[in-house]
């Protein structure tokens, strides 16, 4: 027996506390690293003229990332977000124009504008909720794999948006609200970010972070993600949780699309098809942000920080004179690296599963031996 132990020297498999802490908070390390590198290469990176537009462009993926993280925490994937953004954008613009005309157009005054916006918002959000419900019901009750459902949804919705827009760009007939939404509240260089869109985004982000980590509902969602059967046995309605996570995903994506379209005053049917796909950005940042691919742990704020740091990389690439095409490549490689790292660590865990037991046994045997000799 002793010979056996000598031959197979079991290595220590437990990771140190420091490594675990660093790994779970790796996104903050990553963000700081990127900021330092970018500032070293281009000092004007930290200027307000650069930071403010960067944060403004990342508001859309941050919003989408909230719902995406929720779905991933519950153990599923929502690939339809890219199309849902376009649905939100197109529907809110189209419905506003329709109701604005019904209320009498410019002759209706401010009242017509406000009512038309309220109705258009309600219809768009309702559309998002219905999309989420269909996704969630098919996944939770129909037991269809979430990839398949959401990919089908993606195609159906992108077809829908093209038919709805008739292939054109839709702009609002009245740009009053557009100006309000994008006007900065405080006119100090760095605080120019504080537009109403930013405030809405921040409130939604903080609300969902608290909902996830500080409430009973959120904690039970985490349990559903880490072990569905255990969650079911402990009395959690798993189906309801999964359906709601899909509803949250679709409605936050709709909201993000709506706000983006209003701020640009244009809804295009193919946003993200030729450029950087928002799905790619959100998927990469959710995984980099520490959400486990199989579900069970994650944080909305960490996803948002990851979005910001990826945007910082893009921004730095542009400042260093590299083109748009490099951004696409960089985002893809980043996503691939993180996926490889995650799956390699899971692979090693599985490999070491038996080894760890053997190491523990060895320790026990040592103690037993000591006890018997003394």
Partner 1 sequence: MENVITNMKEDVRKTRHNIVTVYLTKFGVLAMIAFLALIGMLVSPNFMSANNLLNVLNAVSYLGIVATGISFVIYAGQYGDLSAPMTMAISGVICVEFMRYGLIYGVIAAVATGAMIGLINGFLIGKLRTNAIIWTLAMNFILEGLVRWSYKGTQIYPDMANAKTYTTGFFLPLMMKLDPNILEIDLKTRAAAFNGLASTYIFGLPLVLFVMIIVMITGFIIMSKSTFGNQLKIVGSSYNVAKMSGVNCTKIVILAFMMSSICASIAGVFLTSLNQVGAFYIGQGYDFIAVTAIILGGMSLSGGRGSMLGVFGGVFTIGLISNILTLIGVGTFTQKMITGAIFVVVVAVNASSLRKLGRDYA
**Least distance (Å) between residue 116 CB and partner 1:** 27
Which of 317, 319, 339, 358: binder of partner 1 (CB under 8 A)?
339
Which of 41, 219, 344, 364: binder of partner 1 (CB under 8 A)?
344
Which of 10, 28, 30, 162: binder of partner 1 (CB under 8 A)?
162
Q: Which stretch binds partner 1 (CB under 8 A): 2-10, 96-104, 107-115, 319-327?
A: 319-327
CB-CB neighbours of 269 under 10 Å: 23
**Least distance (Å) between residue 198 CB and partner 1:** 28
Question: Does residue 340 interact with partner 1 by CB under 8 A?
Answer: yes
**Least distance (Å) between residue 294 CB and partner 1:** 8
**Least distance (Å) between residue 338 CB and partner 1:** 9
Distance CA 193, CA 183 (A): 9
**Least distance (Å) between residue 150 CB and partner 1:** 10
Question: Does residue 6 interact with partner 1 by CB under 8 A?
Answer: no
# chain residues binding partner 1, by CB under 8 A: 47
Task: Give me 32's structure tokens.
Answer: 């700081």
**Least distance (Å) between residue 369 CB and partner 1:** 36
Closer Cβ to partner 1, 194 or 293, answer by number = 293
Question: Does residue 73 interact with partner 1 by CB under 8 A?
Answer: no
Question: Does residue 325 interact with partner 1 by CB under 8 A?
Answer: yes
Question: Does residue 335 interact with partner 1 by CB under 8 A?
Answer: yes
Question: Does residue 283 interact with partner 1 by CB under 8 A?
Answer: yes
Question: Does residue 323 interact with partner 1 by CB under 8 A?
Answer: yes
Are the C-beta atoms of residues 329 and 51 closer than 8 Å to each other? no
Annotate the chain with three-state secondary structure: CHHHHHHCCCCCCCCCHHHHHHHHCHHHHHHHHHHHHHHHHCHHHHCHHHHHHHHHHHHHHHHHHHHHHHHHHCCCCCCCHHHHHHHHHHHHHHHHHHHHHHCCHHHHHHHHHHHHHHHHHHHHHHHHHHHHHHHHHHHHCCCCCHHHHHHHHHHHHHHHHHHHHCCCCECCCCCHHHHHHHCCCCCCHHHHHCCHHHHHHHHHHHHHHHHHHHCHHHHHHHHHHHCHHHHHHCCCCHHHHHHHHHHHHHHHHHHHHHHHHHHHCCECCCCCCCCCCHHHHHHHHHHHCCCCCCCCCCCHHHHHHHHHHHHHHHHHHHHCCCCHHHHHHHHHHHHHHHHHHHHHHHHHHHHHHHHHHHHHHHHHHHHHHHHHHC
Which of 81, 138, 140, 255: binder of partner 1 (CB under 8 A)?
138
The set of residues, in sequence order, having a beta carbon less than 8 Å from that of 141 and lying 6+ positions away, is: 239, 243
Question: Does residue 317 interact with partner 1 by CB under 8 A?
Answer: no
Distance CA 91, CA 110 (A): 21
Question: Does residue 158 interact with partner 1 by CB under 8 A?
Answer: yes
Closer Cβ to partner 1, 273 or 360, answer by number = 273
Q: Tell me the CA distances in angstroms from 217 to 67, 176, 208, one per residue in order.
A: 15, 39, 11
Q: Enumerate residues 77-136 that contact partner 1 by CB under 8 A.
A: 77
Closer Cβ to partner 1, 200 or 317, answer by number = 317
Which of 171, 184, 220, 277: binder of partner 1 (CB under 8 A)?
277
Closer Cβ to partner 1, 155 or 234, answer by number = 155
Question: Does residue 5 interact with partner 1 by CB under 8 A?
Answer: no
Closer Cβ to partner 1, 119 or 330, answer by number = 330
Question: Does residue 204 interact with partner 1 by CB under 8 A?
Answer: no
Q: Which stretch binds partner 1 (CB under 8 A): 86-94, 101-109, 138-146, 309-317?
A: 138-146
Q: Tell me the CA distances in angstroms from 248 to 128, 135, 169, one per residue in order.
A: 9, 11, 27
Question: Does residue 62 interact with partner 1 by CB under 8 A?
Answer: no
Binding residues for partner 1 (CB under 8 A): 77, 138, 142-145, 147-149, 151-160, 162-163, 167, 274, 277, 280, 283, 287, 293, 323-326, 328-333, 335-336, 339-340, 343-344, 346-347, 350
């Amino acid at each position: 027996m002793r010979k056996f132990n000598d031959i197979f020297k079991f290595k220590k498999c437990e990771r140190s506390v420091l490594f675990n802490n660093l790994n779970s908070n790796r996104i903050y390390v990553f963000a700081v690293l990127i900021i330092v590198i970018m500032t070293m290469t281009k000092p004007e990176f930290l200027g307000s003229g650069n930071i403010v537009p960067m944060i403004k462009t990342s508001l859309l993926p941050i919003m989408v990332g909230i719902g995406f993280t929720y779905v991933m925490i519950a153990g599923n994937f929502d690939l339809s977000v890219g199309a849902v953004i376009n649905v939100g954008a197109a529907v809110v613009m189209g419905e506003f124009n329709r109701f604005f005309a019904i209320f009498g157009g410019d002759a209706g005054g401010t009242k017509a504008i406000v009512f038309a916006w309220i109705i258009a918002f309600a219809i768009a959000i309702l559309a998002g909720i219905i999309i989420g419900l269909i996704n969630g019901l098919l996944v939770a009750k129909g037991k269809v794999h979430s990839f398949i459902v959401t990919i089908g949804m993606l195609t159906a919705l992108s077809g829908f948006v093209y038919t709805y827009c008739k292939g054109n760009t839709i702009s609002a007939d009245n740009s009053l609200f557009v100006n309000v939404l994008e006007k900065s509240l405080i006119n100090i260089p760095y605080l120019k970010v504080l537009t109403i869109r930013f405030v809405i985004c921040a409130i939604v982000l903080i609300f969902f972070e608290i909902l996830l980590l500080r409430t009973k509902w959120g904690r039970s969602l985490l349990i559903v993600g880490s072990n569905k059967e255990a969650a079911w046995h402990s009395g959690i309605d798993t189906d309801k949780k999964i359906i709601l996570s899909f509803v949250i995903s679709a409605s936050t994506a709709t909201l993000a699309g709506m706000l983006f379209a209003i701020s640009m005053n244009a809804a295009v049917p193919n946003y993200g098809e030729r450029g950087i796909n928002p799905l790619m950005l959100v998927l990469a940042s959710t995984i980099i942000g520490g959400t486990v691919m199989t579900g069970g742990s994650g944080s909305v704020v960490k996803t948002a920080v990851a979005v910001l740091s990826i945007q910082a990389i893009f921004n730095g690439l542009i400042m260093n004179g590299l083109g748009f095409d490099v951004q696409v490549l960089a985002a893809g490689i980043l996503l691939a690296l993180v996926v490889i790292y995650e799956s390699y660590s899971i692979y090693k865990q599985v490999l070491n599963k038996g080894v760890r037991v053997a190491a523990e046994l060895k320790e026990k045997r040592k103690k037993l031996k000591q006890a018997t000799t003394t």
